[in-house]
Amino acid sequence: MSHYLGIVTAYAAAAVLVWLAALLHPESIPAAREYSPKHRVMQLGLFVLAMIGAAVLQLLENQGLLLPDSDPLDAALNQLLIFMPLVIYLIAQRSPAAAMMPVNGLLRSLAGGVALALIALAAYLSGRGAWEDLPDLAARMLSVDRADRFAQLFFLDLALGTLLALLSGGWSRKLALIVLGAIVLLVHIGVARLAGIGFEAIGGVLLGSAVAFGLLSAVIYTRNIVWFWPVHAMLGVLLLLVD
């Protein structure tokens, strides 16, 4: 099994488990409060402006105009600076529900996400028959050099939770699912191209997109983005490791 298909298998395992938990034991995943933004169009516009601001700051960081990123912790701090417009937007909302974060059960959601991430890692290692690589993979994934990547994925997931909360609370879950599907497909095509995966392997890209959509749709169903971050962070870092 290839590295990419191993990652897809890991995401699939997490998706199956979280949906089983959500359907059979919904109380096990704390839900954020219902979010109904006033002036939904204006709020969506402000969110888009915040993300444009983050994109501009990312360009500045790429030009070396933020903190020097020679130190891994400074590189992680740069991610906070890059996503500061999003942070300011969320502070102005004065509700964790604006990012699909539950008020109660935050630590339980995080612990559940860590458990899901570990199970997903086990699925990856089992699928590839690579349990002997676990010590090396763990050391590389948990290296301080990955701090900026973990921070980046945290803020990206925060942005995703905010967008899904806006769309599902301001409009409908159906619209949120449609937009989510489009984002997932575009991201997977982009990642595949960057990884040198040609369109002749589009089947694998579509499979990965379907699995990611299945997992992320559970975020909308559970109204909780917190459990998703550990899974995404671990597999997002693992994806970038050399095969």
Tens of pLDDT, residue by residue over 97-141, are: 999 999 899 999 999 999 999 999 999 999 999 899 999 999 999
pLDDT of residue 29: 95
The model carries a pTM of: 0.91
Q: Is the pLDDT of residue 171 over 90?
A: yes
Q: Is the pLDDT of residue 194 over 90?
A: no
Which pair of structure tokens corresponds to residue 11?
A: 């995401």
Looking at residue 211, its pLDDT comes to: 94
DSSP letters, the chain, are --HHHHHHHHHHHHHHHHHHHHHH-GGGSPPPPP---SSHHHHHHHHHHHHHHHHHHHHHHHTT-SS--SSHHHHHHHHHHHTHHHHHHHHHHT-GGGGT--SS-HHHHHHHHHHHHHHHHHHHHHHHT-GGGHHHHHHHHTSGGGHHHHHHHHHHHHHHHHHHHHHHHHT-HHHHHHHHHHHHHHHHHHHHHHTT--GGGHHHHHHHHHHHHHHHHHHHHHT--TTHHHHHHHHHHHHHS--
What is the structure's pLDDT at 196? 62
pLDDT at 243: 54
Mean pLDDT of the 79-95 span: 96
> How many domains would you assign to the chain?
1
Low-confidence winner among 81-95, 160-174, 183-197 (lowest mean pLDDT): 183-197
- Tell me what the mean pLDDT of segment 197-223 comes to: 84
User: What are the pLDDT digits (tens) for 14-39?
Assistant: 999 999 999 999 999 999 999 999 89
pLDDT at 223 exceeding the cut of 90: yes
Give the range of the structural domain holding residue 26, as residue numbers without chain letter.
Answer: 3-240
In this prediction, residue 189 carries a pLDDT of 80
| Segment 40-73, tens digit of pLDDT | 999 999 999 999 999 999 999 988 888 776 788 8
pLDDT at 198 over 60: no
| pLDDT value for 188 | 80
